Amino acid sequence: MKARLHSHTDLGGFGVAETTTNSTATDAPAPSRRDFIHIAAGAAGAVGAAMVVWPFIDQMNPAADTLSFASIEVDLSSVAEGQQIQTLWRGKPMFIRHRTADEIARAEADDKAPDLKDPATDDSRLLQSNGQPGKREFLILLASCTHLGCVPTFAAGDYGGWFCPCHGSHYDTSGRIRKGPAPKNLVVAPYVYLSDTTIKIG
Amino acid sequence: MSGPSTYDPKTGIEKWLDARLPIIRLAHDSFVSYPTPRNLNYFWTFGAILTFCLVTQIVTGIVLAMHYVPSIDHAFASVQRIERDVPYGWLIQNIHAVGASMFFLAVYIHMFRGLYYGSYKAPREVLWILGCVIYLLMVGTAFLGYTLPWGQMSFWGATVITNILGAVPVVGEPIKQWLMGGFSIDNPTLNRFFSLHYLLPFVIFGVTILHVWALHVSGQNNPAGVDVKSADDTVPFTPYATVKDLFALAVFLLMFAVFVFYMPDALGHADNYIPGNPLVTPPEIVPEWYLLPFYAILRAITFNIGPIDSKLGGVIAMFGAIAVLFVLPWLDTSKVRSMRYRPWAQRFFLVFVVACFALGWCGGQNPAKAVYQAGDYSQVVTYKAADGTEATRTFAAHTPEELAIAVRAWEQDNPGAEGKAAAVVEPFKFTVETFSQLLTAYYFAFFLIILPVLGLRETPRRVPDTIAKAVLDGSKAAAE
Ligand code: HEM
Ligand code: FES
């Protein structure tokens, strides 16, 4: 206490602290000019440290060139009915499936099935990213099982769609999760039709 | 504990150095005159073995890094080149890959030792926690290292583990992208994993120094778990502990060498000799053996717990399994350190060790696999027999797939029968999944229920007054 008051005198006083030595009533002294400088310097130091740390954290985020690979174009005319192609988009595998009439019928018939874990109609899974309806024949999906990311195989499993061998998830012909540990449907990739037979993904 | 220094510099140079940097004094006091409890058994040699393992990984790792190329197009080939073309590359690569397994083998023995003899109890809490930090860093380092060869298991193991992080609500997805440096495991991921795999062992080295420092403050625990009370209780580190450590290390190296020279791939997975391919998932993704128990715990949570979905629940359980070790000093309520004098703790501990092994086994199995299956799957098919009457036929097979094949084959052979199949009757099955759940429950119960309660209820056996007495009692018992 003495030392504090002493320091006020040194600094020429700031008019904030008590000026009397017998302050037995209050144990905590009022903040002095030195306290203020300590807090201000500490705060400036902390902000400065955070500003230096941030570039070192942010550098690990996807780089500009990685982000620029973010869209690809695919020619659908090369995918025959009943066939599916797998490509990589942003390094992730994708399914582009040209569905048969039978697959479409099965998918639509199951729109209201009670065992849908993540209910969605087949139509809603064909929407382009601009909100326009897509084509029923072409299902554009991310090929990552929503459980832990394995690539499911087609024409396996109990629902005529995909089956993930890793931990046994079954998806139907609309890519909806029907059975197994996966929590969600296969994700529909964001795509738009550029022409009748070309799509842009991303 | 260390007492006054007994180092006596003899030569002029030693005296000169001692007045400026007393490093020889530090080494002498820590590894020569340092008093060690006279009753230490071979479980106390694993600290030295672990130090050896760390140095081995760092030396071989630095050599590998001279030849390894951290790029998705070259990583796999560069490891093959190390194994085939680089002079002695086969040896150094094998030592590093096998060394990781040996490191974990040693650390698990070291940890079970601490658990059994109560080495985590006061005044060694900080020592124990530093050990847990080292273990966590080792897990991280090994996971990062395993992605470097860029085989199928490298790629898909990394994919599955980073996807696990994605389970964390809200921040999971951004953290995942931040970690991968993109939208999938790719070149940026491999580069940073290499950088971090190079860094972490040196962090481990630093924490190891703190660990040994803390050890030399509180002194070593011992099989009797009683404190050192007089000079009768101890022997000097050199030659007693030094020679014992070296002998144990020699035996350990013998086993190490058997793996390196005769079965370098026995502990790895064959699929890692297939280059990583993001378009094809291997039929089964399993981590290295030393992480299997935690993988089993991760997969054991297949049910939602309130608002926590099963995927996040698994992640919490897996990290919780390691986190619980950190607070163990405050969970065990028993005043007696060594389980040697705790008859019930001893039994529960034994079950715990078995449960850890069993979890490891479960982690390598398909969760749906039956550990025990009471009988076959069966299905009754009702059909029109040749004479027009209704008949039934029962099919049975060990798996539902075999059953479906059998029924289909029969239907094809009998086209006119118009069979109607009833629902498949499943036999009672005890699956790997259920087994993992039971084991996971025991794992947590051991720390959170058994140890806290047992310390209050159990009547321990009589603990010897001093270490010297424990040794004498032991030799008397042996003589009788
Ligand atoms: C705590 C210590 C360490 C552990 C537990 C560890 C573990 C591993 C593991 C499990 C692998 C995969 C080996 C395989 O399956 O073929 C690996 C690879 C590798 N490690 Fe380490 N490591 C450690 C320290 C280091 C250090 C200090 C360096 C470099 C300075 C290093 C450099 C490498 C390199 C370049 C590879 C890729 C080549 C290969 O696969 O053999 N490691 N490490
Ligand atoms: S990753 Fe597909 S079921 Fe687990």
At B424 the pLDDT is 83
DSSP, collapsed to helix, strand or coil, labels residue A169 as strand
Number of domains in chain A: 2
Q: What does the pLDDT look like over B89-133, one tens digit per residue?
A: 999 999 999 999 999 999 999 999 999 999 999 999 999 999 999
For residue A60, give Cα distances in angstroms to B149, B187, B377.
22, 12, 52
pLDDT at A2 over 70: no
Residues B312 and B186 in one domain: yes
Same domain, A28 and A91: no
A157 Cβ inside 6 Å of ligand 2: no
pLDDT at A117: 82
Q: Do B164 and A60 touch (CB under 8 A)?
A: no
Q: How many residues in chain B?
A: 480
Residues B35/B228, Cβ–Cβ less than 8 Å: yes
Q: How far apart are the C-alpha atoms of A99 and A140, rounded to whole Å?
A: 11
Amino acid of residue B356: C
| Residues of A marked as catalytic | 167
Residue B75 lies in a domain: yes
Residue B153: name the closest of B271, B70, B71, B72 by CA.
B271
Residues B299 and B156 in one domain: yes
Interface contact A150-B285, CB threshold 8 A: yes
This model of the complex carries an ipTM of 0.75
Q: Which amino acid residue places its CA nearest to atom 14 of ligand 1?
A: B97
Q: Is B90 in the pocket of ligand 1 (CB under 6 A)?
A: no
Q: B411: buried, middle or exposed (CB in 10 Å: 19+, 13-18, 0-12)?
A: middle
Whether B480 is covered by a domain: the verdict is no
Cβ neighbours around B289 below 10 Å, total:
16
Instruction: Average the pLDDT over each of B65-74, B208-217, B365-374 and give the range with the smallest value.
Output: B365-374
Segment A116-142 mean pLDDT: 90
Task: Indicate if B55 and B140 belong to the same structural domain.
Answer: yes
Range of the domain at A54: 2-58
Q: Which domain holds residue B422?
A: 376-426
Pocket test for ligand 1, best of B148, B198, B203, B274 (most atoms within 8 A of CB): B148
Same domain as A158, residue A80: yes
- Asked whether residue A70 carries a pLDDT value surpassing 90, the answer given is no
Q: SS3 for B49-69, per residue?
A: HHHHHHHHHHHHHHHHHHHCC
Contacts of B285 in chain A (CB under 8 A): 148, 150, 166
Do B275 and B356 lie in one domain? The reply is: yes
Return the amino acid letter for A35. D
The predicted-structure confidence for B380-394, as pLDDT tens digits, reads as follows 888 887 777 888 888
Find, in chain A, the residue whose alpha carbon is nearest to that of B282: A166
- For residue B184, give the nearest of A60, A90, A148 by CB distance: A90
How far apart are the CA of A151 and the centre of ligand 1, in A? 28
Query: Per-residue confidence at B480, pLDDT binned at 50, 70, 90?
Result: low
What CATH number has the domain bearing residue B177? 1.20.810.10
Could you report the per-residue pLDDT of A157-176, keeping only the tens digit for each? 788 899 987 777 889 999 99
Nearest residue (by CA) to ligand 2, atom 3, is A167
Q: Could you tell me where the DSSP H helices lie in B263-399? A: 292-300, 310-331, 343-363
Q: Reply yes or no on whether the pLDDT at A9 is more than 60.
A: no
Q: Is A147 in the pocket of ligand 2 (CB under 6 A)?
A: yes
Closest alpha carbon within chain B to A158:
B401
Contact A76, A87 (CB under 8 A): no
Distance CA B252, CA A62 (A): 44
Q: What is the pLDDT of residues B252-278, one digit of tens each?
A: 999 999 999 999 999 999 999 999 999
Q: B97 in ligand 1 pocket by Cβ < 6 Å?
A: yes
> Which DSSP state fits B238?
I
For the CA of B200, the nearest atom of ligand 1: 1
pLDDT at position B478 is: 63
Residue scoring higher pLDDT (B202 or B285): B202
* Integer Cα distance of B86 and B84 in angstroms: 6
Interacting residues of B272 by C-beta distance below 8 A, sequence separation 6+: B149, B151, B152, B153, B154
User: Which tens digit of pLDDT belongs to each residue from B143-187?
Assistant: 999 999 999 999 999 998 888 888 788 888 899 999 999 989 999
Give the model's pLDDT for residue A147.
Answer: 84
pLDDT of residue A5: 44
pLDDT of residue B91: 97
Chain B residues close to A147, C-beta within 8 Å: 311
Those of residues 160-189 in B touching chain A at CB distance below 8 A are 160, 163-164, 177-179, 181-186, 188
Q: Are both B157 and B266 inside the same structural domain?
A: yes
CA–CA dist B431, B452 (Å, integer): 31
Question: What is the count of residue pairs from A and B with beta carbons less than 8 Å apart?
Answer: 74
Note whether B306 and B420 are same-domain residues. no
- Substitution target from B165, B178, B183, B311 for chain A, most A beta carbons within 10 A: B183
pLDDT for B456 beyond 60: yes
What pLDDT is attached to residue B387? 79
User: Distance between CA B244 and CA B251 in Å, rounded?
Assistant: 11
More confident residue, A117 or B455: B455
- B383 and B441 inside one domain: no
Q: Is residue B132 located within the same domain as residue B200? A: yes
Do B326 and B387 reside in the same domain of the chain? no
Residues 6 or more apart whose CB falls under 8 angstroms from that of B280 comprise A151, B152
Give the lowest-confidence range in A185-194, B91-100, B398-407, B462-471: B398-407
Q: What is the pTM of this model?
A: 0.86
Q: Closest ligand 2 atom to the C-alpha of A150?
A: 1
Asked which of A58, A88, A103 is the last residue of a domain, the reply is: A58
